[in-house]
Structure 1
Amino acid sequence: MSNNTNWSIDNAHSEIAFKVKHMMISTVTGHFEDFQATAQTDDDDFNNASFSFSAKTASINTKNKDRDAHLKSDDFFNSEAYPEMSFVSKSFNGSELIGDLTIKDVTKQVTLNADFNGVAVDPYGQTKAGFEISGEINRKDFNLTWSAVTEAGSIVVSDKVKLVVDVQFIKQS
């Protein structure tokens, strides 16, 4: 008999970041400041756990106000029309997390690498679980299609976007 355990994200100890090459010579890192995630497990080893995640696209922060405004515009996320992006897992085998990623009006299955760092009890008696999740998507698959080319012919923003997600979950029940 399985007892479903619910876990919710510990926002203070989690970061949802992405990295994208800029003009092919440097990397811009950004993150979402407003996000939610939950996990459901049958046990504390997270085998076959199910995960769901959402982030407010308008909470994007790349430490540059003009760039952030551009990312929220229709060229990229169109935060007004599509305020949230989401991920719902289909399977997790301990190292691979497969699920549906929805950005704007496009949903696509993605495979992410997931390192489960284990479970620990913090000084306040809360049980926590940590994960490092990474992967790569093509932004054009999700209609984030804006592109520009410099005078020298370099692409300004790479199509490939790396996802770097460090999350800590708190056991709820």
Structure 2
Amino acid sequence: MKKITLIAAFVLGSMALFAQTAWKNDKAHSHLKFTITHLAVSDVDGLFKDFDATIVSAKPDFSDAKFTLTAKVASINTENSMRDNHLQSAEFFDAANNPNITFVSTGLKKVAAGKYKLMGNLTMHGITKPVTFDLWYRGTITNPMSKSDDAGFKISGTVKRSDFKLGDKYPNAVISDEVVIAADGEFAKS
């Protein structure tokens, strides 16, 4: 009997030790934006209006967090419908055949208090490439409205559109190869 009690205590203790918490982005307080340079003289901003992101973590500082994101290509918005339709075409994202952009984290490296390098696989236009973003964990608070915990994150970095064969026929002088990514998210425990 003593042996069974010890085994049960060990199993329950192990489960508590490895218990993970899932977090989901609050769509009203989360944004996924990008900036690209046009003709080397002006920046064009855009965003994806429809995306879901989740975080799974067992540690309160999120140092073991796993991030996933799925954005609908059809939700791209640059405040110009002709450009948005062009970006959804086969020349760029090919939304008909590749309706989603996905990111799945593969690692997290702490560089300072609340600052990390977030590594993962980004899939766009049917092509998956490893990428690294800067991640800032802005803290966790108790939301005064919902009375539940909310955590804030800011992600930034640059990807090359040529890595994903987006707009191959457009040279860097027309549309910059480097695309700046900026995401800001508020996540609630799910």
TM range (shorter): over 0.9
- Deviation at 1:171? 1.0
1:157 aligns with 2:169: no
Distance 2:73 2:162 in 1: 16
Render the CA deviation track for 1:43-86: whole Å, top value 9, x for unaligned: 22101100100100010000001100110001100001100010
Q: What residue in structure 2 maps to residue 96 of structure 1?
A: 117
1:1-173 to 2 correspondence within 5 Å? 1-94=17-110, 95-124=116-145, 125-148=147-170, 155-172=173-190
Q: Find the structure with the greater CA-based Rg.
A: 2
List alignment gaps of at least 5 residues for structure 1. none
Report deviation, 1:96: 0.6
Question: Quick one: higher RCO (CA 8 Å, sep 6+), 1 or 2?
Answer: 1
CA contact (8 A) 1:4 1:41 kept: yes
What TM-score comes out, normalization by structure 1 length?
0.93
CA distance in 2: counterparts of 1:64 and 1:165, whole angstroms: 21
RMSD: 1.2
Question: Any unmatched runs of 5+ in structure 2?
Answer: 1-16, 111-115
**Shift in Å, 1:146:** 3.4
Rounded to whole Å, the distance in 1 between the matches of 2:68 and 2:84 is: 25
| Aligned amino acid, residue 155 of structure 2 | I
* Identity value in percent: 39
Distance in 2 (alpha carbons) for counterparts of 1:103 and 1:10: 23
SS of 1:129 mapped into structure 2:
strand
**Shift, 1:155, TM fit:** 1.8
The one-letter code of the counterpart of 1:74 is: A
Q: How many residues align?
A: 168
- For 2:168 and 2:73, locate their aligned partners in 1 and report how far apart those are by CA, in whole Å: 16
User: Which structure carries more helix by proportion?
Assistant: 2
Provide the secondary structure at the position in 2 that maps to 1:92.
strand
Q: Which amino acid in 2 is paired with 1:13? A: H
1:12 alignment partner, SS class: helix
The one-letter amino acid of 2:133's match is L
